[in-house]
Amino acid sequence: MALETTLILCKPDAVSRGLVGEIVGRIERRGYVITAMRMMQLTGDKAREHYAEHNGKPFFQGLVDFITSGPLVALAVEGEGAIEGMRQMIGATNPLTAAPGSIRGEFGQTIGLNLVHGSDSKGSAERELKIFFNANEFVSRKHDLAKWLAD
């Protein structure tokens, strides 16, 4: 497997329900590294850019309206096979059919209130990460613990 970075969004319903810590904890317990994180209120323009692949579909405006309805937390998550691994952790779009133990399976309410977004491919991850983060906002958390313990 390859080292990958993917975009994860804790959508406004996750923020309003106080589930961001739970989601971040699950990501870290799985062994992934958060290399960038930001709480923000998404603008309509950024939302339309993010959901550009759905432009023209009947549900497009609903996606834009919801993602801009409150603050969200954007995360850049790094790890071996992070794109597919995070998609498995997130679960199916419809919480009623999401795997037990997945974020959506445990906490999601409806297709529209499904708490999180995760990039679905390497190309999507690269495009989406640029929407939410500048290159200088990524940091590495990898460091030599042995060196610090020895000092």
| Residue partners of 55: CB distance under 8 A and separation at least 6 | 48
Q: Is 117 a catalytic residue?
A: yes
Residue 73 identity: V
CA 98 to CA 2: how far, in whole Å? 26
Crossing angle between the packed helical segments 20-29 and 82-90, to the nearest 10 degrees? 130
Spatial CA neighbour of 26 closest among 106, 95, 81, 127: 106
Considering the candidates 50, 54, 117, 143, report the single residue annotated as catalytic: 117
Query: Catalytic positions, please?
Result: 117
